Structure 1
Amino acid sequence: MTRLIVAAGGGGDAVAAAMLDAALYGGEGPAVVLTYAWDRLLIDPVPGPRGPADFTGLRPLTRSVRTVPAGASPIAPAGSTLPRLAAELPQTFALIDPHHGAEGITRQVEELVQHLAPESIDLLDVGGDILAKGDEPALRSPLADALTLAGCCQVNAPVRLLVAGPGLDGELAADDLRDRLGSSVLTLTTADVQPVSSVLEWHPSEATAMFAATARGVRGLCEVRDAGLPVPLTDEGPTVHEVDLDDALDRNALARALLATETLDEAEQRSREICGCSEIDYERDKASWLERRPEQQLDPERALLQLDQFEAEARTRGVSHTTFRRITEALGLGGAQREDLRALLVSSRPEQYAAPLWRIPAYA
């Protein structure tokens, strides 16, 4: 017997899945995490999710599911965090292939259910935008979560929907989600973060970083993403809630429209029609802009001066913490400099490292 956890949005949801596997189930025995290879452009400069054809070294698990072992590699210029996750964490990471729409995801999950006979199937979303209706003005990335929701709702097996860290993705506020959440399953503590602590030192996910930070007791206002969205870090941050799967589908207009989709292009078009956007379109536009912009090289002295200015401006906005992704983009640096910048900041000003976030001093 094993466990199956579907990481609804890919990226940091896969890290959170590993965290919850240990917290909920004690990490005993094997767990399979089914996840997108869908990382931010700082990691993967190619817009959208990666499919099996974008990797070398994948291993077949079922007819349509491939695992991503530590020895796998994305084919350049694509990038992916999954091989490194596989190298550092005990869970098995399997690849969601969204290029066959929701029907393809249903097929993948059902093949895994037949092959693994899992004792539990959890669908996990960090932040809660899987509970969106589709017309919320702050909604920026509805497609990935809605597609996994649509796929899992059609699986002929019981699936439990879990929402971790309500409001931490910066799209739907925790107050707006409160009446959509079910019972609390658990509240994470510092000990629950320990199994993924090494991953949090390098993984770019902002929502999962804040999820882990709040479990460690960090509170305040965190600024995230290139747009500098403010996200409150409260006592709700480390909580995990169970939500009725059918209720989530009834609320999510995009997920309902995706139920019969057979291609990713078809799913994108439904997102444009219902939500007015597709996050892959945003990634395409941003990738084009980044290609035209000359990338700065990391100059340590200049970077620290720029950081001082950024922090001074952040203080005026009431910001107490930020993410390394936010700092990287605010300083005009690219993905190649992200880890070097992080190392520079942590070594230069260790007192400001509220792992895995960066603390903005109250006074200069």
Structure 2
Amino acid sequence: MTRVIVAAGGGGDVVAAAMLHAALYGGGEDQAVILTYSWDRLLVDPVPGPRSARDFTGLGSLAPSVRSLPSTARPKHPAGSTLPRLASDLRQTLALLDPYQGVEGVVRQLGELVACLAPESIDLLDVGGDILARGDEPTLKSPLADALTLAACCRVDAPVRLLVAGPGLDGELSADELRPLLGRVVHTFTAEDVTPVSGTLEWHPSEATGMLAAAARGVRGTCQVRDAGLPVPLTEESPRLYEVGLDSALRRNALARAIRTTTTLNEIEAHSRAICGFSEIDYERDKAARLRNQPPGALDTEAVLRQLARFESEARARGVTHTTFRHLTEALHLDGAHRGDLRRFLLTSRPEQYAAPLWRVIPDAGPGGDHRFE
């Protein structure tokens, strides 16, 4: 049997899709194709926005307009992508969603894949739940990719199940906002479900999927994420996977409704500016321009420890118990290229603070107290 899983938001949802495939459909002969954007949000790729098939060499073919992405594929300079390394780590087949032909193009890709593979099931997976955003929420940061896949999946001539994992973990809509919109619990992820992707989580920069995995392993508390340092609760709800009606999601998501017949990414951006008040690719363009003027230097470990002490003191005062290495890199004013170096240094110097794949903020035990966790 072949399963198709559409990763609504990009690379982090790919890792969650691999968890989902193993947890819901098991191993054996069951196969899966994970459809995803190549969109690494400047963490790996210095070029703003998503990549298309034209940005890679070594792609395969699953259907006339669907390119598979094996581990031997490479992004063309100056672009970057985590997908080849993901393809090497994961046993599922990765295939590239191309948003540059708008929703019409993604509908065509999905339709061709269904015709070629006749899949047993099609799941649309979003970690966090911002696929259910109206579009006017002040906390919304990245609605474009999710709205595009939602709009396309609603037009495919095949049954598609919408699944939301870890409500609120993307730091955009809170679990309280999402709770009335969610349907039945399909599964609660466990530490065992994380095992197939544990090696990937050691290097992949996704925050939401990293928190999903940590919550599945039993981590609870408040995690600080993104460049703005948003606090995200890790609760008993965090490792759950919910089913949501596809049509009800479309009725709620104004951007997805508006872009259903678009044929270019530029059109989708224009609708996002009109409905949400911004295009996240504009934000990336501005940020990329700033980063070009800040060439990375060597990692100064003494400065890192001083800055870390200040960061943890301020985090404790806000009730923060954990953070992601992505946020920690930005909070310590380091270039994204240093994220791996920072992680290796901290895991070597303070391994007791690693709550895989998060960094644990040790609470202040007071004068003379023991700062270790029980």
Tell me the TM-score normalized by structure 1. Answer: 0.99
- 1:3 is aligned with what amino acid? R
- 2:78 is aligned with what amino acid? P
CA distance in 2, matches of 1:89, 1:324: 22
Q: Report deviation, 1:27.
A: 3.0
Alignment of 1:324 onto 2:314:
no
CA distance in 1, matches of 2:136, 2:337: 36
Alignment of 1:9 onto 2:6:
no
More moved, 4-13 vs 326-335: 326-335
How big is the alpha-carbon RMSD for the aligned residues of Structure 1 and Structure 2?
0.9
Aligned partner of 2:257 in structure 1 is 256
> What is the correspondence of 1:156-175 to structure 2 with a 5 Å cutoff?
156-175=157-176
CA distance in 2, matches of 1:42, 1:297: 18
CA distance in 2, matches of 1:272, 1:155: 26
Q: Report deviation, 1:300.
A: 1.7
Alignment of 1:223 onto 2:224:
yes
Assess if the C-alpha contact under 8 Å between 1:297 and 1:333 holds in 2: no
Q: Report deviation, 1:294.
A: 4.1
Q: Report deviation, 1:60.
A: 1.4
CA distance in 1, matches of 2:59, 2:189: 33
Q: Report deviation, 1:199.
A: 0.2
Q: Report deviation, 1:297.
A: 2.2
- 2:24 is aligned with what amino acid? L
- 1:270 is aligned with what amino acid? H
SS of residue paired to 1:124? strand
CA distance in 2, matches of 1:109, 1:93: 14
Q: Report deviation, 1:120.
A: 0.3
Question: May I ask how many residue pairs the two structures share in their alignment?
Answer: 364
SS of residue paired to 1:62? coil
More moved, 310-319 vs 14-23: 310-319
Unmatched segments (≥5 aa) in structure 1: none
CA distance in 1, matches of 2:336, 2:271: 31
Aligned partner of 1:181 in structure 2 is 182
Aligned partner of 1:36 in structure 2 is 37
- 2:13 is aligned with what amino acid? D
Q: Report deviation, 1:307.
A: 1.1
- 1:127 is aligned with what amino acid? G
CA distance in 1, matches of 2:92, 2:53: 19
More moved, 200-209 vs 313-322: 313-322
More moved, 306-315 vs 221-230: 306-315
Q: Report deviation, 1:342.
A: 0.4
- 1:212 is aligned with what amino acid? A
Assess if the C-alpha contact under 8 Å between 2:296 and 2:337 holds in 1: no
> What is the correspondence of 1:1-364 to structure 2 with a 5 Å cutoff?
1-28=1-28, 29-363=30-364
Q: Report deviation, 1:333.
A: 1.3
Assess if the C-alpha contact under 8 Å between 1:42 and 1:334 holds in 2: no
CA distance in 1, matches of 2:146, 2:51: 16
SS of residue paired to 2:126? strand
- 2:8 is aligned with what amino acid? A
CA distance in 1, matches of 2:132, 2:299: 40
CA-to-aligned-CA distance 1:39-66 (integer Å, 9 cap, x gap): 1212111110000011111111111000
Tell me the TM-score normalized by structure 2. Answer: 0.96
Q: Report deviation, 1:309.
A: 1.3
CA-to-aligned-CA distance 1:304-344 (integer Å, 9 cap, x gap): 22111111111111110000000111112122211111000
CA distance in 2, matches of 1:238, 1:20: 11
CA-to-aligned-CA distance 1:86-143 (integer Å, 9 cap, x gap): 1111000000000000111111011110111100000000000000111111111110
- 2:133 is aligned with what amino acid? A
Q: Report deviation, 1:296.
A: 3.7
CA distance in 2, matches of 1:345, 1:249: 43
CA-to-aligned-CA distance 1:240-280 (integer Å, 9 cap, x gap): 00000000001110000010000000010010001101111
Assess if the C-alpha contact under 8 Å between 1:296 and 1:332 holds in 2: no
SS of residue paired to 1:59? coil
- 2:319 is aligned with what amino acid? G
- 1:172 is aligned with what amino acid? L
SS of residue paired to 1:60? coil
Assess if the C-alpha contact under 8 Å between 1:295 and 1:332 holds in 2: no
